[in-house]
Amino acid sequence: MPKEVYVLALTKQGERFVFVYDRESQDELLEDLQDLAGEATCPLTGFDVAVLAGKMREQVQQGEPARLG
Task: Report d(CA 26, CA 29) in Å as an integer.
Answer: 5
pLDDT score of 1: 56
pTM: 0.80
User: In this structure, what DSSP letter does residue 65 have?
Assistant: P
For the chain, give percent helix, strand, coil, nearest 5.
Answer: 45, 25, 30
What is the band of 26 on the pLDDT scale with cuts at 50, 70, 90? very high
The structural domains of the chain, with segments of one domain joined by +, span: 4-67
What is the band of 2 on the pLDDT scale with cuts at 50, 70, 90? low
User: Which residues does 35 contact at the CB level (< 8 Å), separation at least 6?
Assistant: none
